């Protein structure tokens, strides 16, 4: 039986350091790498990333939209990319940000979290803004299959505060409600729960109470988007040890050379490890 995602993530970070390397094959980056902006270029990009990162970093995060933009051929490349990391020790976090209700959410869950699905990853990102309870099909299936979820809580886009920092009838910020709901699902889990949060590394002081979370925090925005190692400490404070910084452009700009790409990821990883001591 597969160990829980929280346990597998803890082991991966202990062995390979606290870094989530983004795999974002947008058109401008394909062109920068000298690749055609089509499914063939997408596949060459994806397999180069797999060769560079597999077994080297704790987590990779392919952004599904850039694959879906190429239609069925692009989705096939995403399936191939996910399969390329199987057995390497590097976990795959599929950045799909799915959020829906009822049978539709259950279908999304089967696509990305069910054993036997060609798109099944170790974890996925999900949006709770149809209500946290709408995620129940994904939460239940992830629990049964030893996979994880990263729930959007406080994102760095300028539109986010309109919803995320708003206060409910109880006076509690919506983002804090998401934290509390995730914490309830992680209660008692060891060494770490499998329901994580997404909190942008560039959001500044969050004023969120993360003390009961007992789960990982994905922190996008590290590197090219402006956040540095010091920001991780100021944003997350004593919870810094459970933060998984995500970096994409700062690493991917070193492609298409496999060695240069791998070395860039390892430099970022090493810098994060040094700062965390």
Q: Which residues form the catalytic set?
A: 97
| DSSP helix/strand/coil, 202 | coil
The closest alpha carbon to 249, from 83, 15, 32, 5, belongs to 32
d(CA 211, CA 244): 17
**In Å, how far are 126, 219, 271, 274, 276 from 150, measured between CA atoms?**
6, 10, 24, 25, 22
Tokens of 113: 């979290």
Per the listing, tokens 């069925």 go with 72
**Longest Cα separation, the chain:** 54
d(CA 254, CA 260): 6
250: Cα separation from own chain's centroid: 16
């Amino acid at each position: 039986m597969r160990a829980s995602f929280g346990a597998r993530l803890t082991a991966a970070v202990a062995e390979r350091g606290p870094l989530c390397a983004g795999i974002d094959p947008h058109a401008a980056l394909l062109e920068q790498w000298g690749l055609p902006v089509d499914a063939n270029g997408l596949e060459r990009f994806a397999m180069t990333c797999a060769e560079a990162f597999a077994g080297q970093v704790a987590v990779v995060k392919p952004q599904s939209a850039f694959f879906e933009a190429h239609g069925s051929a692009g989705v096939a490349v995403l399936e191939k990319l996910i399969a390329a990391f199987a057995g390497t020790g590097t976990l795959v976090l599929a950045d799909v940000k799915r959020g829906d209700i009822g049978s539709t959410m259950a279908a999304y869950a089967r696509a990305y979290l069910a054993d036997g699905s060609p798109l099944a990853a170790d974890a996925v990102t999900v949006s709770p803004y149809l209500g946290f309870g709408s995620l129940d099909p994904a939460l239940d299936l992830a629990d049964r299959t030893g996979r994880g979820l990263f729930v959007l809580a406080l994102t760095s886009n300028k539109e986010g505060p309109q919803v995320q920092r708003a206060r409910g009838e109880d006076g509690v910020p919506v983002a804090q409600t998401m934290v509390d709901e995730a914490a309830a699902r992680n209660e008692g889990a060891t060494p770490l729960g499998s329901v994580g949060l997404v909190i942008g590394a560039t959001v500044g002081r969050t004023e969120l109470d993360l003390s009961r979370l007992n789960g990982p925090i994905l922190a996008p925005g590290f590197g090219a988007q402006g956040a540095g190692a010091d920001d991780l400490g100021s944003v997350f404070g004593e919870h810094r040890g459970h933060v998984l910084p995500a970096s994409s452009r700062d690493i991917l700009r070193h492609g298409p050379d496999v060695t240069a790409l791998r070395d860039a990821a390892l430099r970022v990883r090493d810098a994060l490890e040094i700062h965390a001591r």
